[in-house]
A and B are shown apart, each in its own frame.
Chain A
C-alpha cells in the first residue's frame, strides 16, 4: 500500500509537470491551429539556458533568463514562421514545426555534448517522507508550482480579455476577426505562454530524481504529447487530466516493473503511449476533445 501511495504521489508530481507542457501544446493548437512539435526542443532550450547560466549569475536569475529565453524563442517561431504561413494546411504547419524542432535540437545537442549539465537546484536532491511515502523535494516543489501556474492559467483563460479573445478566435476565427480581435496577437501570446510553461516544466524535469540536463530530457518532454492528445487536443482541462494520467501511468509502470516483467524491461517509458492508443481507440477525439459541435 505504501508503495502504491508513493508511486501515486510521484506519478502526480510528474504528471503536474507534463500538464504544464501539455497546456502549452493545447493553447498553441487552439490559437494558431498548429500541432507544435517544437515543444520538446523549446523545453530543452529552457533547461540548457538555466543550467549554463546558473554557475555564473546564480540560480534564480538563471531561471528567470531561461524562462524568458524560451518564451522569446517560442515567440520568434510564431512571428517568423507560423504567422507567415497562416492559412496553410494543418499538416504542412506540423511538418514545419518538426523541421524547426530538429534544427534547434541538433544545435542544443551539439552544445550540450555528451555531458550531463547539472542544475544547482537550491533544494538539491533530498527526499522528504510524508507518512512513510517518499518523494524528492524537487518533485514536491514542482507539484506546488505547477498547481499555482495551472490555477493562474485557468483563471486567466476564463476571465481575462486574452482568455475570451482566445476562446472566441479558437471557436470561429473569422467571426472573431470581424469583432476586431487580432488573431496574430492572440496567437503570439499563446506561444509566449506556452514557452513560459515549458521552461518552468524544464526546470523541474531536470531535477531529482533526474540527474541533470542531457539530450535525454528531450524524450522525457515528448511524453507530454500523448498527455495533450489523450486529453483532447483542444481541451485545456483535458491537458491537465491527460498530464496527470500519463504521469501516474508512467510511475506505476516503472514501480511495478517486477510484476510487469512479462512485458519486458522499461515498460514505464512506453506505457504513456499505450494508454494514449487505448484512449484514442475508444474516444477518437480524446477524453475531453470536441467532436465538431454542430448548432442549429
Chain B
C-alpha cells in the first residue's frame, strides 16, 4: 500500500501517446499519477520512453520533432498538454534534464539566476536561493566560479539547485545518477529525499533502480512505451521482474543488494 494515500494527484498522465516524426511511437498509452507530496520513480531501459515522457510533461517535445497524438498531462486541475515550456515552468513543474545540461560558461550564480527566470516573485526567489545554498553549501562557496569547472557531482547539484530556483511544486529528474560515482549517487538520493521532505513532489526517472526504489514511494516500470509494472516502491523491489532486470538479481538466487550486476551496467552504457 502507498503510505501517502490522502492527497490528490499533483500530476496525472492519462493515456498518453507520443510519436516522433509522425512515425516512431515512443509512448503508447501511458497513464500514471504522482500523488501530492510523493516521490514517484519511473524505471526502464533505454528506449522505454522515459525521456519522452518527461519531454511531454515539460513541453519540449517539439524541439525533438515529437508530437502528442492522444492523452493528457494535468497538474492538479490544470491541463498542461501541448503548453510551451515557459508556461509549464510557471505552472510549477520544472525538469532537471538528463546529463545535467548546466550552463558551463556561466558562473554558478548566473546558473541559479537563469533557473529563477520563470519566477517573478522576488521574495520567492530570495527564499529559493537560501534553500538551494542550504541544501548545497558548495554552490555558495563556488558562486563566482564558472560552472563548467565544477566536478560531475557538483554539476548535478547545480542542475538540481537551478531547477529549485523556480520554486516548483513538482520536480522532474531525468537520470540524476548518470555518470556519477556510487558515493555521489547516494548523496543525490539523500538530497531528493530532503527536497521531498520540504514539500516538493518528485518524479524521478532512473536506470539506477537501487537508488530510485530507495527514495521513491511509488514506482512505474516502462517497457517499450508502455507501463509494464506499477505499485508501491518497496513491493515492486521484491518482484521477480524488477529484481532480475533492474536490481541485477537472478530470480531464484537472491544476492546482496550492493552487488553491481553486469546486466545493469550493460544497459547503462549501451546508449
Find out whether the CB atom of A177 lies under 8 angstroms from the CB atom of B86.
yes
Find out whether the CB atom of A161 lies under 8 angstroms from the CB atom of B117.
yes
With CB as the reference atom, state the residue of chain A lying closest to B85. A177
With CB as the reference atom, state the residue of chain A lying closest to B105. A171
Stretch among A71-79, A143-151, A162-170, A276-284 lining the B interface? A162-170
Find out whether the CB atom of B86 lies under 8 angstroms from the CB atom of A167.
no
How far does the Cβ of B240 sit from chain A's closest Cβ, in whole Å? Answer: 37
Residues of B within 8 A of A171 (CB): 103-106
Number of interface residues of B (CB under 8 A): 32
For window 260-296 of A, CB contacts with B under 8 Å fall at: 293, 295-296
Q: With A171-B103, A174-B97 in contact, do A179 and B166 touch (Cβ < 8 Å)?
A: yes
With CB as the reference atom, state the residue of chain B lying closest to A182. B86
Task: Spell out A's residues near B (CB within 8 Å).
Answer: 87, 161, 164-165, 167-168, 171-182, 293, 295-296
Q: With A167-B103, A293-B105 in contact, do A178 and B114 touch (Cβ < 8 Å)?
A: no
Q: With A167-B106, A174-B101, A175-B97 in contact, do A161 and B58 touch (Cβ < 8 Å)?
A: no
Tell me the bound Cα distance from A178 to B152 in angstroms: 20
With CB as the reference atom, state the residue of chain B lying closest to A171. B103
Partner of A180, one of B89, B105, B113: B89
Would you give 6 A-B contacts (Cβ < 8 Å), ordered by A? A161-B113, A177-B63, A178-B95, A179-B94, A179-B115, A179-B165
Q: Does B60 contact A (CB under 8 A)?
A: yes
Residues of B within 8 A of A178 (CB): 58, 60, 85, 89, 94-95, 97, 101, 163
Q: With A167-B110, A180-B85 in contact, do A175 and B101 touch (Cβ < 8 Å)?
A: yes
Q: Does B244 contact A (CB under 8 A)?
A: no
Tell me the bound Cα distance from A176 to B114 in angstroms: 8
A-B residue pairs, 3 tightest by C-beta: A180-B118, A180-B89, A175-B101
For window 155-175 of B, CB contacts with A under 8 Å fall at: 162-163, 165-166
Partner of A167, one of B60, B89, B105: B105
Find out whether the CB atom of A165 lies under 8 angstroms from the CB atom of B148.
no
Residues of B within 8 A of A293 (CB): 104-105, 148
Task: Spell out B's residues near A (CB within 8 Å).
Answer: 58, 60, 63, 84-86, 88-90, 94-95, 97, 101-106, 110-111, 113-115, 117-119, 148, 152, 162-163, 165-166
Add 19 more A-B contacts to A178-B95, A180-B90, A180-B118 (CB < 8 A): A87-B63, A164-B113, A164-B117, A165-B114, A167-B103, A167-B106, A168-B111, A168-B114, A171-B103, A171-B105, A173-B63, A175-B102, A177-B63, A179-B89, A179-B114, A179-B162, A179-B165, A180-B88, A182-B84
Residues of A within 8 A of B103 (CB): 167-168, 171-172, 175-176
Residues of A within 8 A of B118 (CB): 179-181
Partner of B148, one of A161, A167, A179, A295: A295
Find out whether the CB atom of B117 lies under 8 angstroms from the CB atom of A172.
no
Residues of A within 8 A of B114 (CB): 164-165, 168, 176, 179, 181
Number of A-B contacts (CB under 8 A): 81
User: Which of A87, A174, A177, A178 has most B Cβ within 10 Å?
Assistant: A178
User: Which of A161, A168, A175, A181 has most B Cβ within 10 Å?
Assistant: A175
Tell me the bound Cα distance from A129 to B152 in angstroms: 59
Tell me the bound Cα distance from A173 to B88 in angstroms: 16
With CB as the reference atom, state the residue of chain B lying closest to A186. B117
Find out whether the CB atom of B85 lies under 8 angstroms from the CB atom of A164.
no
Residues of B within 8 A of A172 (CB): 101, 103
Tell me the bound Cα distance from A172 to B103 in angstroms: 7
How far does the Cβ of A256 sit from chain B's closest Cβ, in whole Å? Answer: 40
Find out whether the CB atom of A174 lies under 8 angstroms from the CB atom of B60.
yes
How far does the Cβ of B88 sit from chain A's closest Cβ, in whole Å? Answer: 8
How far does the Cβ of B144 sit from chain A's closest Cβ, in whole Å? Answer: 13
How far does the Cβ of B190 sit from chain A's closest Cβ, in whole Å? Answer: 23
How far does the Cβ of A178 sit from chain B's closest Cβ, in whole Å? Answer: 5
Tell me the bound Cα distance from A175 to B89 in angstroms: 12
User: Which of B86, B114, B119, B162 has most A Cβ within 10 Å?
Assistant: B114
How far does the Cβ of B161 sit from chain A's closest Cβ, in whole Å? Answer: 12
User: Which of B86, B90, B102, B106 has most A Cβ within 10 Å?
Assistant: B86
Tell me the bound Cα distance from A20 to B63 in angstroms: 33
Tell me the bound Cα distance from A293 to B127 in angstroms: 33
Tell me the bound Cα distance from A168 to B104 in angstroms: 9
